[in-house]
Every structure is written in structure tokens, then in C-alpha cells.
Amino acid sequence: MPTLQVEIPSTGYHAGLIACQRACPVHTDARGYVRAIAEGRFEEAYLIARGPNPFASICGRICGAPCEAACRRGHVPRVDEDGRFVGQDRPIAIRALKRFACEIAGPEARPPAAVIDAVLHYVPSVAADAEEMAAMLRAALDGAVPPGNGERVAIIGGGPAGLSAAHDLALLGFHPIVFETEPVPAGMLAVGVPSYRLPRAIIEREVAVIRALGVEIRCGVTVGRDVSFADLRRDHAAVIVAVGAKSSRGLGLPGERGPGVYGGVDLLRAVAVGERLDVGRDVVVIGGGNVAFDVARTVLRQIAYDTARTAARLPGTSRVRLVSLESLEEMPADTLEIVEGDEEGIERQNGWGPVAIERNEQGEVTGVTFRRCVRVWDDERRFAPLYDDATRQTIPCDTVLLAVGQSPVTSFLADGGADVEMARPGWPKVDGSTLRTTADGVFVAGDLAHGTRLLIDAVASGKAAARSVYAYLTGRPLHVGAVTAHLTLPGYRRERGYEAIRRVPVPVTAPDDRLVHPDVQVEVGYDRSQAMREASRCLDCGVTPVFDGSRCVLCGGCVDVCPTKCLKLVPLSAMSMTAALGRAIEQTLGPGVDLDGHSAILKDEERCIRCALCAMRCPSDAITMERVTFSAHWKAP
């Protein structure tokens, strides 16, 4: 018989159960805004989502959503209307719900000043805030954080990391100036993420809110060409380097250098800023991640659009093939990207490693030769591809796009940054908690600090850099003080049948209509009733049944009524004793108690769906439903 691992709840235990919030790098109270949507409190939902995240609207469209991966609903068994188990359930569509709330109350729907006013003066109706929630914003207003003295802070790079740092520095009383080489701000969001996933108008509106806080953004200024790093250090009290990893990595293949071979992110940038790249009509994209799909799907749209406009001049067929080293199961791209790419006509070939790019006598690309890849990862999950050299194929094409990773360009550090030590070429050595480099007053944020990750990681990193700069310039480190409260919820009830509702599919444009124009949005988003229905599936992990042993009459009614069988009534004598369990028993029953005749209620947190049936059934009111809330306050001594 398998032994049960029993954990005695300690301080912070219940906070740890809110998996969505814990998984988010800025600790957004996703549960809070999802429940607000379920109850029709849409404005509040937006404010909860926006508090810790200046890029809430953009995240609503494209966030990699670590919250969804962690969502407990995705781990509980699914039950049908008759209470029968019918397989594993699916997580709440948290990202799509965030988009819904932002469209109603975010910068999509009102001017920047109104957004700022609402965000800064938001007082939660349910104390749903958590570590790092809007605490920074409120603290700056109520004086818990004495403002900086308006010193100028230079930020190199106007991507999500740089702009998040600027946003928080403006709130903290500084004068952030962002230097951005591109003609538009927002980094990879504007020059990487394709417009069919993220409309440019949303970027402009979200950035307008940041500007309205007093952030100065100077576009078209390249540090290292138009202004030197040395000048920035001389003229500013601190410098944050947030230049991302913009350069496409190459593979060093024979034939790689020359016309017809481009970096994937270079192609995306060219399309985004309206520059022309000489891309043919028979394209091979090498790579298996999300960026490879962005590249393949973008080029497919460009070909379709050009063909529609110049049909008479461009007869014949076109093809976009995506070739990855990994098998379909191992591909790092999101399943949704793979499915939508397949629907749109991307021809996918899995399990092939490139050997050479073939060219004719005129130097034009004629194809790519691949060999079979029989294994990508070794037993320790290290990247160690093995090939079957005898099995090869040459895929004919006229253009090759490489989407196999990016690296940073930090050569501008040569002028004035000799004291910035490098961890490896291009990547500065950085203290993971303070984001300081080895040079005085120089900080790093975003992809350059932690390697290529998600947009929300860059936001978290930018905010952390802002706090570090505050501490550096004022000599006052910022602390977060957390308060935990338990609130009993008499008469707590859930929406009828919420446990059986299946995930509401996020509406999308039909594949045939997507290629009509490169800007056609693939994801359409929820309407009000779809959003409320999907939000009502949330298990509300912040609510939990709490058992009062002194009132329990051991009738077992709670165990019988539990639909997911998450409760167990177990004789203490049958439990394997750990030190923590022994201490808990001693605290409750006194020292040296005879275990025979005493029982414990065990709860499997993974299965509990917070339905409250146990509390309703209990004849002695020994079970109450409680909401656990955490509020955080930024303080500077």
C-alpha cells in the first residue's frame, strides 16, 4: 500500500497553493482577476491585472502564460454532469481572460491619463493583492517610499525590460530616459512579434501610458553610434542596459554566408518596420521553437499578400517548410503554434539536422541538405544530438531563414565600459538579485540579464532593476512587507456546475481567412458571456476549507460528500509518524496522548476543487470556508 506524504500547513502554506500567482514572475493575482471576471467586476479585473504589470494589455495577447501551465484546474480529474471522472481537466484560459478585461478597461478603451488615475487610486474591494501587487504604485503615493530626487537615469533599450524599469523609476521619483535604436519603442514586441498576434495599436496605447508617467523615450538613437556609453555614464546618475538579444545566431554551415540566407528575427524586423528583404517563394525555415513559427507564418503571409497584389506577375506555387531537429513531441514550440501553423499550410518536417546550404554557380540558394536526427537530448536532458549520416535529403528552396536562437550585441560597452566584466562574450556578468554589473552605477535587465525568456520575465527583471537603482541612488533599499489574513466566508457558494464546465475555446479566425492580410488577428478573443463562463471554472485556490478538530464528531459526512474524493478520515495510529506530525499532534491533543481513538482528516490539495460541499454537509459546523489573502507594502527605511 503506498504511503501518504502528509504536510502540516505552516506559515505561507496557503499562499503557496495559489499556483497561478506563484508562477507569474511579477506575481500577478491571476486568481483575483479571473474571479472578478466571473462575478462581472470587469474594471476591477483590469486593475488587478495591471497593478504589477505595465504590459498587461500586451500580455493579454501574447504572454507565454506560466500561470496557465501552473493552474491547478489543469491537474484535477475532470468530472461530467453525473460526477463521473472523464480524464484530466484543462487549465483556465487565464491569458485570454486578461485580454478580455484589458479590452474593457485598459488603454484599449480609455486615454492614458484615465488608466493611470484608475490604477494609482485602486483600492481592492476584496483584499486580493499579493506580494509585489500594486504595492509599488501605492507606496509611492502614500509616502511609504520617499521619492527619489528626480535624477536622470539612462536606459539603453526600449523593450519591455527597459520600459518597465522606466515606468517604475518614474513612479519612484526619477527622470528615466530611454535610448532606443529602432524607430518605434517596445523592443521585440514591436519588431519581433508578428502583427497577426499583436496589433501595433495596442503597443502604442500601452506605451503611451508609460510616456504619460513622465518617461522620455528617444527612438532612433543607437548607443555606440549616436551617443557613447561613456557619455551616458557621465551624464546620468545610473545606467540600465536592457538591449535584449537581437542578433540571429548562425549555424556555421557550408554555404550559409551569402544572399538568400537570413536570420529569422532579421526577417521579422524587416517586415515590422517596412524594410524590404529579398525573400523568394520557396522557403525553408530552420528551427523548432515559437520564433521559428513566427518566422514561417509571417513569411507565408507575406507571400500570400504579395501574390494577391501581383497575381498576374507571380504565377506558380509557393511553399514554406519548417524543418526542426526535434521530433513533433519534443519541439519547443507551443502546441497552439504548431496546430495553427499546420492549419495555415506550413509544411513541417521533424527530426532533421542541417548539413549544408546548397548554391548554384551563380551563388543562388538551391536547397538545404539535412541528415536524420535520431536523438536530440542525452539521458541527462543535455542537448547532444545524434545523427544517422546515411539518411540524408536535400530540400530544394530559394531562401533559408535561420531561427535557432539569438545573441546580444554589446560592443558599445567598449567605449566607457571597460569595468563591465563579461560572463561570456556579449553577456555581462550580473548579480542575479540586484542586477548590478561589476561597474559602479551600471545595471542590466531583461533578456540580457537572464537569457532569452518570456516577455513577463523581462518585465519582472526591469522592475527589479528599478528597485535596485532606487536603492543605489537613495541609499535606502526597498523592502516588501507582507500581511497574511484569513477571512471566513459564511455561506460560501460556487457557480452551479462549475466543476463540470469544459474550457471555453478561445475563438479564432478561420484558417482560410487568416492569410488575407498580414494584420488579420488569428485570435479573436472572448465575448462577455464566454469570458464569464470560462472564468467561472476557476477553482479559486485562495479559498480553502479549514477544519476545527475540537468540533468534529467524526461522522465522515465530509468524506462521503466530497466529489473528488480528496478527503480521508485516517486513524492516527495508522499514520507513519514524522517529527512535524508529532509536533502538530502534541500541540492539538497534548503531550503523550494515546493515538488509538484519535483520527485526522487528510486533504489532497491537488484534488480539492473548493466546492464547499464538505462545509455544507458538516453537522457540527467544524468546517468553514476561508479566503487567504496577502497584501504587500513597499517600504524604504
Please report, as ranges, the residues that interact with ligand FAD according to CB under 6 A.
Answer: 62-64, 156-162, 179-182, 187-189, 192-193, 222-224, 242-244, 246, 265, 268, 290-291, 294, 412, 446-447, 452-456, 458
Quick one: 164 or 564, whose CB is closer to ligand FAD? Answer: 164
Residue at 104: amino acid letter: I
- As given in the structure block, the three cell numbers for residue 477 are 533599499
Q: Which three cell numbers stand for residue 485?
A: 489574513
Comparison of 139 and 265: residue with beta carbon closer to ligand FAD: 265
Cβ nearer to ligand FAD, comparing 31 with 297: 297
* C-beta of 408 vs 542, nearer to ligand FAD: 408
Residue (417 or 446) nearer to ligand FAD, CB: 446
Q: Cβ of residue 452: shortest distance to ligand FAD, in angstroms? A: 6
Shortest distance (Å) from residue 22 CB to ligand FAD: 18
For the chain, the first-to-last Cα distance in angstroms comes to: 55
Residue number with CB closer to ligand FAD (227 or 570): 227
Nearer to ligand FAD by Cβ, of 163 and 478: the residue is 163
Nearest to 111 by CA among 184, 212, 43, 198: 212
Task: Please report how close the Cβ of residue 133 comes to ligand FAD at its closest, in angstroms.
Answer: 20
Min CB(470)–ligand FAD separation in Å: 19
Q: Which is nearer to ligand FAD, 205 or 297 (CB)?
A: 297
Instruction: Say if CB 127 and CB 483 are below 8 A apart.
Output: no
* CA–CA gap between residue 163 and residue 186 (Å, rounded): 7
The least CB distance from residue 585 to ligand FAD, in Å, is 47
Smallest gap, in angstroms, from Cβ of residue 385 to ligand FAD? 23
Sequential DSSP letters for 423-446: EETTEE---TTT-B-SSTTEEE-T
Give me the DSSP letters along 47-91: HHHHTT-TTHHHHHHH---HHHHH-GGGTSEEE-TTS-EEEE---
Cα–Cα distance between 274 and 136 in angstroms, integer? 38
**Minimum distance from CB of 469 to ligand FAD (Å)?**
16
State the nearest-atom distance from the C-beta of 584 to ligand FAD, in Å: 42
Q: Whose Cβ is closer to ligand FAD: residue 293's or residue 526's?
A: 293
| Nearer residue to ligand FAD within complex by CB, 29 or 447 | 447
Shortest separation between residue 230's beta carbon and ligand FAD, angstroms: 14
One-letter amino acid of 474: T
3-state secondary structure of 284: strand
Q: Which is nearer to ligand FAD, 468 or 631 (CB)?
A: 468
SS3 call for 530: helix
Q: What's the closest the beta carbon of residue 379 comes to ligand FAD, in angstroms? A: 30
Q: How far is the CB of 413 from ligand FAD (least distance, A)?
A: 10
- Closest CB 456 distance from ligand FAD, rounded Å: 6
What values do phi and psi take at 633, rounded to 5? -135, 125
CA distance 25 to 69: 13
DSSP code string of 568-610:
EEEEGGGSPP-HHHHHHHHHHH-TT---TT-EEEEE-TTT---
Contact yes or no for 186/160 (Cβ under 8 A): yes
List strands edge to edge, sheet with 383-396.
352-359, 365-377, 383-396
Q: What is the DSSP letter of 278?
A: -
Residues contacting 612, CB < 8 A, separation 6+? 492, 493, 494, 545, 625
Q: Which amino acid is at 125?
A: S
Residue 41 or 297 with smaller CB distance to ligand FAD: 297
**Cα 76 from Cα 85, distance rounded (Å):** 10
Closest CB to ligand FAD among 182 and 540? 182
- Give the integer Cα–Cα distance in Å for 158 and 182: 9
Q: Where are the alpha helices (DSSP H) in 197-243?
A: 200-212, 229-235
The minimum distance between CB 334 and ligand FAD, in angstroms, equals 9
The conformation of residue 516, written as its DSSP 8-state character, comes to T
Query: Strand order of the sheet with strand 282-286?
Result: 261-263, 399-402, 282-286, 319-324, 347-350
